Amino acid sequence: MSTDAPKLSPVETIKEGSDYLKGTIGQEIADSVDHFDKSNIQLLKFHGSYQQDDRDSRLTAKKTGAGKAYSMMVRLRIPGGRIQSDQMLSMLDLCERLGNSTMKITTRQTLQLHGILKDDLRETICYINKIALSTLAACGDVNRNVMCCPAKRIGSIHADMEKLTDELTEALAPQTPAYHELWLTDPESGEKTLEGGGPIEPLYGPTYLPRKFKIGIALPEDNCIDIYTQDLGYLAVVRDGAIIGYNVLVGGGMGTTPSAKKTFPALAKRMAFVTPNQAVGIAQAILKVQRDNGNRGDRKTARMKYLINDWGIEKFRAEVEKCFGEPLVDCTEDEVHGFDDHMGWQEQGDGKWSYGLNIENGRLYDNEDQQLKATLRAICREFETEIRMTGHQSVIFTDIDGADKDKLISLITQHQVPTTEQTSTVRRWSMSCVALPTCGLAITESERRLPSIIDGLEAPLSKLGLDKERFTIRMTGCPNGCARPYNADLALVGKAKGKYTLYAGGGWLGNRLAYVYKDLVPDDVVVDEIIAIFAAYKANREEGESLGSFCTRVGKDDLAVLATAAPRP
Ligand code: SF4
């Protein structure tokens, strides 16, 4: 190797020496230590698991010398968020048997379990595969869960989008035999629980991608999967009731690192139009260009958005075209112009109905106030239909007969869960990442804090007459941006202990980045700061102007002046 070869990041070296993600995970599973070593922690992500520890107990543990309380987060890959009732029931059983008894619906339409002990990891992953689900490639430097509009609609448009979701999932799945060897083979007898896996990685190669890769498929009138935040987005182009192809968008990504000035959130750019037959091939070509040219020296700038920023979209497109082997044509004029969260009752087109139930921050739990898991169990047992998870961390129950609508609603209310109609608009359009106590990167609270922030906003919004207005409020415990904060109308991003960066100016369409309105806002004044923005919006908005558009039009400085001057509700 030339001495001029760029220095690889440590994770690249770990991947390279891992024998296709095997590492020494097998040996470590068998030992009696309660956590994995640093190298295997990196490799486990590709298998769908992050090592975490209970950060609430760190202080006590330090005092008593008990050490960290380690556990594993296990994330599933559920393309398009489609899951059958019996699978959901099994997952609810699993979270109670081996997890911390809750489950989280993520912002990428999948499920994750928390609190799995290292000793139970093999049993957990094996069980998930036995119910025909998987954790492979739910995390790691590979293509992750493919998102797709979860609405159940009869007709070719949604069927074609769902088919593409499955084809992309299949075509871009890692082929390492390590997954089957580690999790689906009996360690004593060597007997395989399930067959599968291949000898090599024809697409990824031994070091996989420089960084994670995300794909989403949307319709112009319905950007519910947030297409501009994806590395690769497919915007369906529909003519005469059928999809004739897709506008391909590239280079979206939310994560930033405050200490690294060169990092930034980016919205995906329009690159080319492809026919349905070209849709999988273009993904493979794009992935290869990123595989071979993405930055493997610095993980902070390894996402594809940085390659596109360095090269410019024209050069990137030319490289993709070369790899694809066919001339690319320009995008059609079709653009995003709507967003449907699919909550409440919607007709499917076959005489049946879907019901979207808002799940606050995607957390499924039972307590004395409300029993979300029990609700899901009751509906799954009663209707035995398909469930779809949304990109806003909620669920859609499909294939409900009109005559059964009241029965479904009563199964929700008898478990003290508010229906979508009983949920305020601001709560319905909010979302947060997990953050504390399990996420190792969290700087501040997020999921545990956002509900009380929303509590504090509901009454003022009502007084201002804004309670029916639709806008997005998103919160994350660090700038990594897992809940896609940077294109929301308003967002709180954890910056320092108990302090947040307040962003304003994105929008529910997802096609505009927000700006930093105020930095290092202490937790105890966050609600007041947001109410002041609402008051300024109410007093100064133009006819039909959305909250994010208003914040963008007036800009940061004038927003601060208007927010100070506007009468509070
Ligand atoms: Fe953790 Fe940060 Fe992602 Fe939240 S945004 S889950 S704190 S990495």
Ligand 1 center–CA 103 separation, angstroms? 16
Closest CA to 433 of 388, 372, 484, 472: 484
Ligand 1 atom at minimum distance from 477 CA: 7
Domains 7-143+176-195 and 145-174+209-340 share a fold: no
Q: State both tokens at 410.
A: 């009563």
Query: 372-383 and 85-97 are packed helices; what angle lies between their axes, rounded to 10 degrees?
Result: 150
Identify whether 482 is a catalytic site residue: yes
Measure the CA–CA gap between 60 and 341, rounded to whole angstroms.
42
148 annotated active-site: no
Element (DSSP H or E) covering residue 557: helix 547-565
- Return phi, psi of residue 190, to 5°: 80, 5
H-type alpha helices, 47-103: 58-64, 85-97
Q: What pLDDT score was predicted for residue 224?
A: 98
CA 444 to centroid of ligand 1, rounded, Å: 9
Q: Which of 256, 444, 482 to mutate to test the pocket of ligand 1 (most atoms within 8 A of CB)?
A: 482
pLDDT at 193: 61
Of residues 152, 212, 296, 484, which has the active-site annotation? 212
Active-site annotation holds for 214: yes
Q: How far is the CA of 482 from the centre of ligand 1 (A)?
A: 6
Whole-angstrom distance, CA of residue 143 vs CA of residue 138? 8
Active site residue 433: yes
Residues 485 and 475 sit within 8 Å (Cβ to Cβ): yes
179-216 confidence digits (pLDDT tens): 999 999 877 777 766 555 455 899 999 999 999 999 99
Q: Considering 149, 224, 331, 478, which one is annotated as catalytic?
A: 478
Domain ranges for the chain: 7-143+176-195, 145-174+209-340, 354-413, 427-565
d(CA 135, CA 125): 7
Q: Give me 73's structure tokens.
A: 């987060």
Per-residue pLDDT of the chain (569 residues; tens, 9 = 90+): 445 667 999 999 999 999 999 999 999 999 999 999 999 999 999 999 999 999 999 878 777 888 899 999 999 999 999 999 999 999 999 999 999 999 999 999 999 999 999 999 999 999 999 999 999 999 999 999 999 999 999 999 999 999 999 999 999 999 999 999 999 987 777 776 655 545 589 999 999 999 999 999 999 999 999 999 999 999 999 999 999 999 999 999 999 988 888 999 999 999 999 999 999 999 999 999 999 999 999 999 999 999 999 999 999 999 999 999 999 999 999 999 999 999 999 999 999 999 999 999 999 999 999 999 999 999 999 999 999 999 999 999 999 999 999 999 999 999 999 999 999 999 999 999 999 999 999 999 999 999 999 999 999 999 999 999 999 999 999 999 999 999 999 999 999 999 999 999 999 999 999 999 999 999 999 999 999 999 999 999 999 999 999 999 999 999 999 999 999 99
Tell which atom from ligand 1 comes closest to the C-alpha of 442. 7
**Top mutation candidate among 299, 434, 475 for ligand 1, by most atoms within 8 Å of CB:** 434
Q: Residues with Cβ within 6 A of ligand 1?
A: 433-435, 439, 441-442, 446, 476-478, 480-482
Active-site residue, from 75, 317, 474, 512: 75
Best probe residue, ligand 1, of 107, 214, 446, 448 (max atoms within 8 Å of C-beta): 446
Measured CA to CA, the distance from residue 298 to residue 301 in angstroms comes to: 6
For residue 197, the model assigns a pLDDT of 47
* Catalytic status, residue 331: no
CA distance 379 to 529: 40
CB proximity list for 99: less than 8 A, separation 6 or greater: 74, 113, 114, 115, 116, 124
- 7-143+176-195 folds as Alpha-Beta Plaits (3.30.70)
pLDDT at 191: 73
CA 496 – ligand 1 centroid, Å: 13
Superfamily of domain 145-174+209-340: Sulfite Reductase Hemoprotein, domain 1 (3.30.413.10)
Query: Which atom, in ligand 1's list, is nearest to the CA of 494?
Result: 7
Supply the pLDDT for residue 195: 56
Q: Is 95 a catalytic residue?
A: no
- Nearest one of 540, 542, 475, 553 to 512, comparing CA atoms: 553
Ligand 1 atom at shortest distance from the alpha carbon of 481: 5
Topology of domain 427-565 in CATH is Sulfite Reductase Hemoprotein; domain 1 (3.30.413)
**What is the pLDDT of the chain when averaged over all its residues?**
96
Judge whether 139 counts as a catalytic residue: no
Ligand 1 nearest-atom number relative to CA 439: 1
What pLDDT digit, counting tens, does each position of 398-457 carry?
Answer: 999 999 999 999 999 999 999 999 999 999 999 999 999 999 999 999 999 999 999 999
CA distance 173 to 171: 6
CB 22 within 8 A of CB 176: yes
